[in-house]
Chains A and B, each alone.
Chain A
Amino acid sequence: MTTPDSFLTETMISEAIGSESSPVTSKIEAGAIIRFAEAIGDTNSIFNDEIMARKSRYGGLIAPPTFLRSIKTIPPEIPFEIPFHRILDAGSSWEYFHPVRANDAITAIGKVIDINERNGRLGLMVFMTTEISYTNQFNELIATQVNTTIRY
Chain B
Amino acid sequence: MSVQVYWEDVSEGMELPSLVNETTTRQLVQYAGASGDFYEIHYDKDFATNTGLPGVIIHGALKNAFLGYLMTDWAGELGWLRKLSCQYRGMDYPGIPLTAKGVITRKYQDGEALLVDCDIMLENPEGEINTPGTATVELPSRNNF
**CB < 8 Å: which of A70, A86, A94, A96 contacts B80?**
A96
How far is the CB of A44 from the nearest CB of chain B, in Å?
6
In whole angstroms, how far apart are the Cα atoms of A69 and B68 in the complex? 13
At the interface, yes or no: A66 with Cβ under 8 Å from chain B?
yes
**CB < 8 Å: which of A42, A46, A72, A92 contacts B36?**
A72
At the interface, yes or no: A41 with Cβ under 8 Å from chain B?
yes
Interface size on B, residues (CB 8 A): 36
> Is the CB–CB distance between A44 and B83 below 8 Å?
no
Partner-contacting stretch, out of A3-11, A30-38, A75-83, A102-110:
A30-38
**CB < 8 Å: which of B21, B31, B62, B87 contacts A91?**
B87
In whole angstroms, how far apart are the Cα atoms of A87 and B60 in the complex? 12
At the interface, yes or no: B77 with Cβ under 8 Å from chain A?
yes
Which residue in chain B gives the minimum CB-CB distance to A86? Answer: B51
State the majority secondary structure of interface residues on A. mixed
Taking A36-B35, A44-B1 as contacts, is the C-beta distance between A65 and B85 under 8 angstroms?
no
> Is the CB–CB distance between B27 and A96 below 8 Å?
no
In whole angstroms, how far apart are the Cα atoms of A32 and B33 in the complex? 10
At the interface, yes or no: A139 with Cβ under 8 Å from chain B?
no
> Is the CB–CB distance between A65 and B68 below 8 Å?
yes
**CB < 8 Å: which of B61, B71, B84 contacts A89?**
B61
In whole angstroms, how far apart are the Cα atoms of A73 and B21 in the complex? 28
How far is the CB of B34 from the nearest CB of chain A, in Å?
4
How far is the CB of B102 from the nearest CB of chain A, in Å?
14
Which residue in chain B gives the minimum CB-CB distance to A53? Answer: B77
In whole angstroms, how far apart are the Cα atoms of A91 and B74 in the complex? 22
How far is the CB of B1 from the nearest CB of chain A, in Å?
6
**CB < 8 Å: which of B1, B37, B64, B69 contacts A41?**
B69
In whole angstroms, how far apart are the Cα atoms of A70 and B73 in the complex? 21
Which residue in chain A gives the minimum CB-CB distance to B39? Answer: A87
At the interface, yes or no: A22 with Cβ under 8 Å from chain B?
no
Given contacts A66-B61, A93-B85, 14 further A-B contacts (CB under 8 A): A36-B35, A39-B35, A41-B21, A42-B69, A46-B77, A64-B68, A65-B81, A69-B64, A88-B88, A90-B60, A91-B86, A91-B88, A91-B133, A94-B83
8 closest residue pairs by CB, A with B: A91-B87, A65-B68, A89-B60, A39-B34, A93-B85, A40-B65, A39-B30, A36-B34
Instruction: Give chain B's interface residues, CB within 8 Å of chain A.
Output: 1, 21, 27, 30-31, 33-37, 39, 51, 59-62, 64-66, 68-69, 71-73, 77-78, 80-88, 133
Instruction: Give chain A's interface residues, CB within 8 Å of chain B.
Output: 32, 35-36, 38-42, 44-46, 56-57, 64-66, 69-70, 72, 86-96
